[in-house]
Amino acid sequence: MSPAGEEGLAGRLLSGDRRALARVISKIEREDPEAKEIIAEIYPHTGRAVTIGFTGPPGVGKSSIIARLIKLYRAEEKRVGVVSVDPSSPFSRGAILGDRIRLSEHFLDPGVFIRSMGSRGHLGGLAGGSRLAALAMEACGMDVIIYETVGVGQGEVEVASAADTVVLALQPGAGDAVQALKAGVMEIADIFCINKADHPQARNARIEVRQMLEIGQELAPQDWFPPIILTRGDTGEGVEELKEAIASHRAYLEESGRLEERRRAALRDFVVSWATARLEREMRERLRYEDDDLLEMVYTRRLDPISASERIYRSV
């Protein structure tokens, strides 16, 4: 595509063209060189949307909750973008869960844009391309951006660097609450959502989570104490309360000055993460195509692995 074409595609995206948005995200997924110029052009038009991260164990019902939440935002005529990050196939690198199926009721709504993307083995649950896709959605006019990430234990913490508000969804009766808290996810959750509120153990799970939060508060006091909301994705019970909790957290961030602080830290982490990923890719390519002799020296014990890695690092 010529430079003029690139400008045209970016311009159509900025005007709210959904087809242009889809094309840009496809370029991001393919790591098309043209995506870099498009991101540079649309980036000044981002930074205003509300961003929410949903994380938690697979099967907890995150997609059902998100579908209900979208309805509430659409009732307020807010445009919603969803980046659903699935585990990737180790062979095709494509997403394999297909969370968009559970959000199918919103497919025909012009005010909702949903995209499933593969994590490509990224342990934090968010591929770098997912962050760029969210920026593209925001530049296209989305008022609310929702990240739905795969639950992968300790790696879930990365969603905290992408969203203003992080919701951790748990399922009662399956030991998820204790396991999640042990994994350290408690530290990044701004709101806890106990889904399937009709479960006999739902209220006990809420008590359990609250007790753990109170212990954490005693050890490291925080201004914001995460609310614990009981919800049902199938009926929508509690989702309005969840939406209000998200709004309350947003207000807290703005009033305390933490929103700017959080976003600055998030952008710093993203820049470093992107640079690190590119450096790793370049080092692997060099090792694969140019340094057979170097690896042979390591294999035959003529050179130690650390010295070999330093040679590659200095040559990149």
Percent above pLDDT 90 for the chain: 43
Query: Is 261 inside a domain boundary?
Result: no
Strand order in the sheet with 191-194: 112-118, 80-86, 144-148, 50-55, 165-170, 191-194, 228-230
Q: Is the pLDDT of residue 92 over 80?
A: no
In a domain, 265, yes or no: no
Average pLDDT over residues 266-293: 80
Question: How does the average pLDDT of the chain come out, rounded?
Answer: 82
CATH number of the domain residue 90 falls in? 3.40.50.300
Same domain flag for 237 and 283: no
Looking at the fold, whether 67 and 195 belong to one and the same domain comes out as yes
Shared domain check, 157 and 209: yes
Q: Band of the pLDDT at 89, cuts 50, 70, 90?
A: very low
Q: Pick left, alpha or beta for residue 31 (phi over 0 → left; psi -120 to 50 → alpha; otherwise beta).
A: left
Q: Are residues 155 and 304 in the same domain?
A: no
- Compare 108 and 160 and report the one with higher pLDDT: 108
Residues 156 and 251 reside in one and the same domain: yes
pLDDT (tens digit per residue) in 118-161: 655 443 335 578 889 999 999 999 999 999 886 655 445 566 67
What pLDDT score does 95 carry? Answer: 43
Number of domains in the chain: 3
One domain for residues 107 and 207: yes
Within a domain: 232: yes
Alpha-carbon span 163 to 147, nearest angstrom: 8
> What is the pLDDT, as a whole number, of residue 105?
66
Same-domain pairing of 159 and 278: no
pLDDT number for residue 4: 40
Per-residue pLDDT band for 182 (boundaries 50, 70, 90) equals low
**Is residue 66 in some structural domain?**
yes
How far is Cα 152 from Cα 157, in angstroms, rounded to an integer?
9
Are 115 and 5 within one domain?
no
Report the pLDDT value the prediction gives residue 281, as an integer from 0 to 100.
Answer: 80
264 domain-assigned: no
Q: Which of 37-46, 111-120, 173-182 has the highest average model confidence (pLDDT)?
A: 37-46
User: Which span out of 90-94, 242-246, 306-310 was modeled with the highest average pLDDT?
Assistant: 242-246
Q: Please tell me whether residues 206 and 305 are part of one structural domain.
A: no
The answer as to whether 236 is a domain residue is yes
Has residue 36 been placed in a domain?
yes
Domain with 304 in it: 270-315
| Same domain membership, residue 79 and residue 28 | no
Could you tell me if 140 and 229 lie in one domain? yes
27 Cβ neighbours under 8 A, 6+ residues apart: 34, 35, 38
Regarding whether 125 and 247 lie in a shared domain, the answer is: yes
Mean pLDDT over 14-42 rounds to: 93
